[in-house]
Amino acid sequence: MIRREDALAQDAADPLAPLRERFTLPQGVIYLDGNSLGALPKATALRLEQLVGTEWGEDLIRSWTKHGWIDLPLRVGDKIARLVGAAPGSVAVADSTTVNLFKLMAAALRLRPGRRVILSEDGNFPTDLYVAQGLVELLGNRHELRLAEAADIAGAIDEDVVLVSLTEVNYRSGRLHDMAGLTRRAHEAGALILWDLAHSAGALPVDLAGADADFAVGCGYKYLNGGPGAPAFLYVAPRLQGAFRSPLTGWLGHAAPFAFETGYRPAPGIARAIVGTPSILSLAALEIGVDLALAADIAAVRAKSLALSRLFIDCVVQDCAGLGLTLAAPERDDERGSQVSYRHPEGYAVMQALIARGVIGDFRAPDILRFGFAPLYLRYADIFDAVHILREVLATKAWDRAEYKRRAAVT
Amino acid sequence: MIRREDALAQDAADPLAPLRERFTLPQGVIYLDGNSLGALPKATALRLEQLVGTEWGEDLIRSWTKHGWIDLPLRVGDKIARLVGAAPGSVAVADSTTVNLFKLMAAALRLRPGRRVILSEDGNFPTDLYVAQGLVELLGNRHELRLAEAADIAGAIDEDVVLVSLTEVNYRSGRLHDMAGLTRRAHEAGALILWDLAHSAGALPVDLAGADADFAVGCGYKYLNGGPGAPAFLYVAPRLQGAFRSPLTGWLGHAAPFAFETGYRPAPGIARAIVGTPSILSLAALEIGVDLALAADIAAVRAKSLALSRLFIDCVVQDCAGLGLTLAAPERDDERGSQVSYRHPEGYAVMQALIARGVIGDFRAPDILRFGFAPLYLRYADIFDAVHILREVLATKAWDRAEYKRRAAVT
């Protein structure tokens, strides 16, 4: 029998508990959607005020050097590198996750010219698949995107595969791939591997260098709390940087951007992955979020993430039995990211009813209720309370109202 | 003889003069670099405070619908459309100018599969050339980037040309191309044309629909005052939108992004040019700048821009004769954008000396002093004063100091 007092005791013993005070969180809301849009760090508003009022407003164009705007993509990249086990100089902040996927996939195909298959997971986040489809079409359909079920990926890596493109944590199920094992398997077959860390960076320990990964991308607005649509990042292993050629050859990725030469020459190192002028407002906000993520010990983050998830699952077993939920996430902790998902035939309406009661998770078609656990600002008591409300919604069929079933364009 | 009183009289009669109050401008600075980074609209700080504090902080993920974040790329796109003579639904805000160039160039090559030459201007902004070079290389060098001098472009458009890619106003010289005439010429030869409006949008009347242009891109952080690294925009003529295929097939450009389908299907219309999740902070700031640009009559903006430029040129003739400056911009008003450039053998040091005295323009290699005139916030008296300081710097050789000659990485 889990009681609310137990959750409160966990909060009292939580070494990460003080970090919650560094976020703005609305009253009356239990926010289980930090894996879609992370919460607002209190320091962000102040940083933006300074950036806009002083740096842009007063120092204008001079801020590119005076306030180091020009260094932001690599400076914030180096900070993110510490979160994902990457060496300094191997991560840049740039563009969106999708655009970065395109750069890396196109570069991978050029590094293994004889091979033709991009292998990904059936059920990978759509943009990862769409980018591969668009690239294959652009290059004249001489390559092919092949999909395999999560459990069959390792077996599907053969001599035709140029690139294995996987999201470490599945956006729907929360299933966590074995990065080290699959990277080893890809390399044994002579393939390259690209890891999408959208649901990993800031939520669990990632060791890109230790796994010997080739490429990675990740998202700034989820567990890094960089704000809506924060710029993304990308990683190129140092051993590949010399041969890496981005298909997006922009002036800020040039070896000498301010020489305004007629011919493109790639900048040394990861800087060649930068394309156009970065959005400084968004980059500055991202830096605050990354700094906050760096303030926490990532092992403690992972431990709390799993404890929150375990508490959620246990509370659902205790309180929601027979109410129509089916666990859609791996049972084992070591196979799960920082979220838990359930299927429910009326999943959309159930989530709307929850949101109306202040429990914010999200719905993923066709029938997935997704609950994300951001350890920097969630409390164990929040989990207990959320499941209590979930039980109430299900037991009373509170979801069975027309207003909850009417789907909005964005959910 | 031009006197300061004359400039003050022009200010007193200026219909756009009241708009200056809507910008934050530093004391003691004459800002002639709005064509590199536009000034800060006063409303921007307030908008960001609301966006961050309320929309992100309080409403979190719900803001995508509740506060219309999801609509921003097309909503701001439609506003920009009014500034560049485009129909509603033909402009989207997305990514950077460079990334948008890539989308449009790649799409153009697919629309004219038999042809192999991308024609551009020798001296076009480097990123426009680099993108073409990178694309040609990506596609296996079956195409070719051909460059012609500005005056020779029309004659160089032949049956091999798939795409003419031009910046309407040259970033160094300020030279203005004849958009309608060159577009007609391109179409006569069966080619497509892409206009880069980086130095046009918000500075002079643009009529994309009237000229029957095929594609365009533009910049948010120059005359649109969207802030450092503001997102860019792109235009696809309505008649081409059905056939237009972006090579960057991201989830937000999908026909049903939230259905999370496995296969990419392009969204109808210009929405298919959207790729990943947009940076909302930067987009919201851009919207404020665009709203301000829409508050001014663009014909009045052009008239003032030319009058400011003319005053600058006339003052230089009067005050700086024999001091080493050579006009590097067209003499005729109708051949010039909203800037004036001069060559000076010590251009870099001269600009540093000017900046140290509060006159901010910029330097473009190898020897160009560039002065941009943003009519929404510049005064005629500023121009008079700026040339007075320029004269002083040149006449006293104030630029002849080691600290001014030491080049920074970014200028």
pLDDT digits (tens, 9 = 90+) for A150-199: 999 999 999 999 999 999 999 999 999 999 999 999 999 999 999 999 99
Closest Cβ–Cβ partner in A57, A254, A365 for B130: A254
Q: Are A228 and A128 contained in the same domain? A: yes
CATH value at residue A279: 3.40.640.10
Question: Among B294, B310, B342, which residue terminates a domain?
Answer: B294
Can you tell me the distance from the alpha carbon of A261 to that of A269, in angstroms, rounded to the nearest whole number?
19
Which residues in chain B have their CB less than 8 angstroms from residue A73's CB? none
Residue bearing tokens 């309320």: B54
pLDDT tens digit sequence for A370-397? 999 999 999 999 999 999 999 999 999 9
Q: Are A281 and A304 contained in the same domain? A: no
Q: Above 80 in pLDDT, residue B408?
A: no
Q: Cβ separation of B147 and A70 shorter than 8 Å?
A: no
Q: What is the mean pLDDT of residues A80-100?
A: 98
Q: Are A289 and A305 contained in the same domain? A: no
Can you tell me the distance from the alpha carbon of B83 to that of A185, in angstroms, rounded to the nearest whole number?
54
Can you tell me the distance from the alpha carbon of B32 to that of B34, in angstroms, rounded to the nearest whole number?
6
Q: Determine, yes or no, domain membership for A350.
A: yes
Residue A370 a catalytic site member: yes
Which residues in chain B have their CB less than 8 angstroms from residue A40's CB? 52-53, 56-57
Q: At B92, which helix (H) or strand (E)?
A: strand B91-93
Contacting A residues, span 100-129, partner chain B, CB-CB under 8 Å: 102, 106, 122, 125-127, 129
**Token pair listed for A388:** 């209590």
Q: Above 90 in pLDDT, residue A408?
A: no
Question: Among B294, B324, B346, which residue terminates a domain?
Answer: B294
Mean pLDDT score across all residues of chain B: 97
Q: Determine, yes or no, domain membership for B81.
A: yes
Can you tell me the distance from the alpha carbon of B87 to that of B81, in angstroms, rounded to the nearest whole number?
6
Q: Determine, yes or no, domain membership for B398.
A: yes
Q: Are B160 and B270 contained in the same domain? A: yes
Print the domain residue range for B396.
4-41+298-405
Q: What is the mean pLDDT of residues B81-86?
A: 98
Do residues A348 and A411 lie in contact, with contact meaning Cβ atoms separated by under 8 Å?
Answer: yes
Q: Are B110 and B207 contained in the same domain? A: yes
Measured in residues, chain B has a length of: 411
Q: Is A321 on the interface with B (CB under 8 A)?
A: no
Can you tell me the distance from the alpha carbon of B30 to that of B40, in angstroms, rounded to the nearest whole number?
14
Do residues A351 and A361 lie in contact, with contact meaning Cβ atoms separated by under 8 Å?
Answer: yes
Q: Are A309 and A363 contained in the same domain? A: yes
Q: Which residues of B324-355 are buried (b: 16+ CB within 10 A; e: fewer)?
A: ebeebbbeeeeebbbbbbbebebbbbbbbbbb
Q: Which residues of B280-302 are buried (b: 16+ CB within 10 A; e: fewer)?
A: bbbbbbbbbbbbbbeebebeebb
Q: Cβ separation of A262 and B57 shorter than 8 Å?
A: no
Percent of chain B exceeding pLDDT 70 equals 99
**Token pair listed for A382:** 């929040």
Q: Distance of alpha carbon B407 from its chain centroid, rounded?
A: 25
Q: Are B93 and B158 contained in the same domain? A: yes
In 3D space, the residue among B37, B27, B353, B364 whose CA is nearest the CA of residue A64 turns out to be B37
**Token pair listed for B118:** 């991308």
Q: Are B183 and B290 contained in the same domain? A: yes
Q: CA-CA distances (angstroms) from residue A146 to A100, A180, A197, B362?
A: 20, 21, 21, 51
Q: What is the mean pLDDT of residues B350-365?
A: 96
Q: Are B75 and B88 contained in the same domain? A: yes
- Spell out where B114-259 has E strands: 117-121, 144-148, 161-167, 192-196, 215-218, 233-236
Q: Are B374 and B359 contained in the same domain? A: yes
Q: Determine, yes or no, domain membership for B17.
A: yes
Residue B411: pLDDT band (50, 70, 90) is very low
Can you tell me the distance from the alpha carbon of B305 to that of A330, in angstroms, rounded to the nearest whole number?
64
Q: Determine, yes or no, domain membership for A244.
A: yes
Q: Is the ipTM of this complex over 0.90?
A: yes
Q: Are B289 and B302 contained in the same domain? A: no
pLDDT for residue B409: 52
**Token pair listed for A340:** 């838990």
Q: What is the mean pLDDT of residues B172-192?
A: 97
Fill in the amino acid letter for A381.
A
Contacting B residues, span 43-62, partner chain A, CB-CB under 8 Å: 44-45, 48-49, 52-53, 56-62
pLDDT tens digit sequence for B111-132? 999 999 999 999 999 999 999 9
Q: Determine, yes or no, domain membership for A94.
A: yes
Q: What is the mean pLDDT of residues B328-333?
A: 95
pTM: 0.97
Closest Cβ–Cβ partner in B49, B102, B362 for A61: B362
Q: Above 90 in pLDDT, residue A337?
A: yes
Q: Is B313 on the interface with A (CB under 8 A)?
A: no
CATH value at residue A399: 3.90.1150.10
Q: Give every CB contact of residue A212 below 8 A, 6+ residues apart in sequence.
A: A183, A184, A187, A237
Q: Above 70 in pLDDT, residue B29?
A: yes
Q: Determine, yes or no, domain membership for B257.
A: yes
Closest residue in chain B to residue A33, using alpha carbons only: B61
Q: Are B231 and B161 contained in the same domain? A: yes
pLDDT for residue B326: 97
Mean pLDDT score across all residues of chain A: 97
pLDDT tens digit sequence for A22-46? 999 999 999 999 999 999 999 999 9
Q: Cβ separation of A99 and B99 shorter than 8 Å?
A: yes
Q: Above 90 in pLDDT, residue A409?
A: no
Q: Determine, yes or no, domain membership for A311.
A: yes
In 3D space, the residue among A320, A295, A307 whose CA is nearest the CA of residue A387 turns out to be A320
Q: Is B410 on the interface with A (CB under 8 A)?
A: yes
For residue A288, give how far its alpha carbon lies from the nearest alpha carbon of chain B (Å). 13
Q: Above 60 in pLDDT, residue B410?
A: no
For residue B16, give how far its alpha carbon lies from the nearest alpha carbon of chain A (Å). 21
pLDDT for residue A407: 77
Q: Above 90 in pLDDT, residue B169?
A: yes
pLDDT tens digit sequence for B269-321? 999 999 999 999 999 999 999 999 999 999 999 999 999 999 999 999 999 99
Question: Among A254, A269, A294, which residue terminates a domain?
Answer: A294
- How many independent structural domains does chain A possess? 2
Residue A331: pLDDT band (50, 70, 90) is very high
